[in-house]
Structure 1
């Protein structure tokens, strides 16, 4: 006659260890950074520039940056635009990446009161 098979108890200690290691792994491999935001505002059709301020024309290309037809570095852009709420029209050349446009918008955000309008390609 056979003895009835005795059930073994399930050891939860090793399961808890595995869960703790997984939790630790996911916590250490995650990033808790906040992504930067660039505010964009859409201008209505036929919107005119406010006041008598002459707008600046900025042409962005993969190779460089032109302000009113004159090449300018991204670092010197703030000093070239002045301090009194400039209106900037941004035109994009072919093959300009979104990262390059974002870098330009971040640099323009440092100018106080700047009004940026990104022109669409025709």
Structure 2
């Protein structure tokens, strides 16, 4: 004959504690991205009031290439190329034209690279 065993209910407290500890562990060991800000100024506010004698620099950004005044360059050498193409230390307008499917991250990387040069005012044109 079988002995009549009564089944015990499982306690959920231990399971909840383990899940909480795992959640706490993953939250404390994960790395969080550091977001930076890129300041943009509307071209209609400052460009119309000040006439600059310095010719603008034309930058074309594609998904896999970067051209400054029709010369190929990289994001790492962009500040040096902009500094070399400036006629003087006066503020210069950089016309940034996007061509093709340029991602927002690539555009942000280009703007952060341009920020390293003092007196650069970027104006962003749409994709063509």
The TM-score normalised by the length of structure 2 is: 0.67
Find the counterpart in structure 2 of residue 102 from structure 1: 108
Moved more, 109-118 or 48-57: 48-57
Q: CA deviation at 1:118?
A: 0.3
Find the counterpart in structure 2 of residue 52 from structure 1: 53
CA spacing shift, 1:98–1:67, aligned 2, 3 Å: same
Trace 1:1-122 onto structure 2 (pairs within 5 A): 21=21, 24-25=24-25, 27-29=27-29, 31=31, 34-44=34-44, 47-48=47-48, 50-82=51-83, 84=89, 85-121=91-127
Q: CA deviation at 1:54?
A: 0.6
Distance 2:106 2:51 in 1: 27
Higher helix fraction (1 or 2): 2
The number of residue pairs the alignment matches comes to: 112
Question: Which ranges in structure 1 are unaligned for 5 or more consecutive residues?
Answer: 1-12
CA spacing shift, 1:40–1:24, aligned 2, 3 Å: same
Q: CA deviation at 1:115?
A: 0.3
CA spacing shift, 1:39–1:100, aligned 2, 3 Å: same
Find the counterpart in structure 2 of residue 4 from structure 1: none
Secondary structure, counterpart of 2:111 in structure 1 = helix
The TM-score normalised by the length of structure 1 is: 0.70
Distance 2:19 2:52 in 1: 64
CA spacing shift, 1:63–1:19, aligned 2, 3 Å: closer
